[in-house]
Amino acid sequence: MGRYVLPLLLAASVALSTAACGKPPQAYEKSFFVMDTLVSVQLYAPSFARAQKCFDLVEAKLAELEGVLSAHLPDSDPAKLAASAGRRPQSVQPDTLAVISLSLEYADKSGGAFDITLAPVLKLYSFSPGREARPDPDRLAETLPLVDWQKVRLDPAGSTVSLAEEGMEVDLGGVAKGYIVDRCLEILRQNGIEYGLINAGGDIGFLGAKPDGSSWRVGIKNPDNPGTNFAVVELSRGALATSGDYERFFLEGDLRYHHIIDPRTGLPAREVRSVTILADSSALADLLSTAVFVLGPREGLALIEELPGVDGLIWDAEGQVLWTSGLESRPDQAGVGYYLRRP
């Protein structure tokens, strides 16, 4: 029998090594409910155990960041900031500092079209069926002076933020989901995951292309018929975010009241119906999709054309589709436009 050992071992090792070289990582997916959003994590891992470890780490990070950043939770930094507004600087977590710092930078670049101090106005609206509400003009006029990003003071050295006037509040809803996606992608990267994505209700961050090297294809909803796509965007890196007026809204006659409010007027922005942003980070894509929505097609496109690594696709109020010079349009297929980033 001994004489068979060598050939057996040899053959087995050749077969195994052939198999090991050809073994692709398997796809795993898990969803979490965080910040009133479904957060879906798709990753390719060499084993179930590795995937499970990543899911556990992501779940813990999601819970931690929600607790820090969500204005609806009593111990969050936005809640503490509201309580100390007009009185004293409030010390905050490094994540909050990072999110507010990025938000103020782009509040400036967008001329106030993106503004985290919109919170007191947002509270005057409700989009829940049966409880629809919008502010009457007097109430809005009283509240609007509290909306001013220039009254937010950031002290990175002391890790504090202060809101200049009592009654001011911050809501990080327009950027926090994207920021959370970026942080969770870091966790995947640190754990050796090369392929995957995180989708937090349309704020999508990618680790890279698909394992076969092809691009991800993301369908963009038609605002007139959100069950269908008007476009498909192909990308293999970075992040994508879409803001649309069809997500949370109610109708008064023909007038649509939706959740993307112009901080300068306190009223829903009406020049566009859907904005998709492609950027290097999910936080940036998230906040720019709101900023461009508020700015409207002309000013919005001008803003993102100036920003390196940022592209965008807009469906305007007339149903016209516009896009930045960094995107290449392929011929429509069955009425759906295909867009990909120029190399």
Partner 1 sequence: MKRADLIIFTLVLAAGLIGAYFYFFAGGAGPESTIVIEVNGVVVQTYPLYQEGRDEYVEITGVNGVTRVHLEDGRVQVVDSACPDKVCVNTGWIRNSAQVIACLPNRVIIKIVNAEDGDIDLR
Which listed residue (2, 74, 129, 335) binds partner 1 by CB under 8 A? 129
Q: Which H or E run contains 134? A: none
Q: Which one of 232, 267, 307, 322 is in contact with partner 1 (CB under 8 A)?
A: 232
Instruction: Pick the closest to residue 194 from 53, 43, 15, 59 (CA basis).
Output: 43
48-72 burial, b if ≥16 CB within 10 A, otherwise e?
Answer: eebbeebbeebbebbeebbebbbbe
Q: Is 37 in the site for partner 1 (CB under 8 A)?
A: yes
State the nearest-atom distance from the C-beta of 204 to partner 1, in Å.
6
Please tell me whether residue 1 binds partner 1 under the rule CB under 8 A.
no
User: Smaller CB distance to partner 1: residue 128 or 325?
Assistant: 128
Q: Does the footprint of partner 1 cover residue 221 (CB under 8 A)?
A: yes
How many degrees, rounded to 5, is the angle at CA 86 between CA 81 and CA 89? 55
Residue showing tokens 């993307």:
260
Q: Which is nearer to partner 1, 8 or 60 (CB)?
A: 8
Site for partner 1 in 248-307 (CB under 8 A): none
Task: Tell me: does residue 141 bind partner 1 (CB under 8 A).
Answer: no
Q: In the bound complex, what is the minimum distance in angstroms from residue 248's beta carbon to partner 1? A: 8
CA-CA distance, 239 to 248, in Å (whole number)? 23
The DSSP annotation for 154-176 comes to: EETTTTEEEESSTT-----TTTH
d(CA 57, CA 17): 32
Give the x-and-dash track for 76-115 against partner 1 (CB under 8 A): ----------------------------------------
Which residues are CB-neighbours of 265 under 8 A, at least 6 positions away? 144
x-marked contacts with partner 1 along 147-186 as a string, rule CB under 8 A: ----------------------------------------
Question: Residue 128: which residues within 8 A CB-CB, separation 6 or more?
Answer: none
Q: Binding residues for partner 1, per CB under 8 A?
A: 3-4, 6-8, 10-12, 14-16, 18-19, 22-24, 30-33, 36-38, 40, 127-129, 131, 197, 199, 204, 210, 216-219, 221, 227, 229, 232
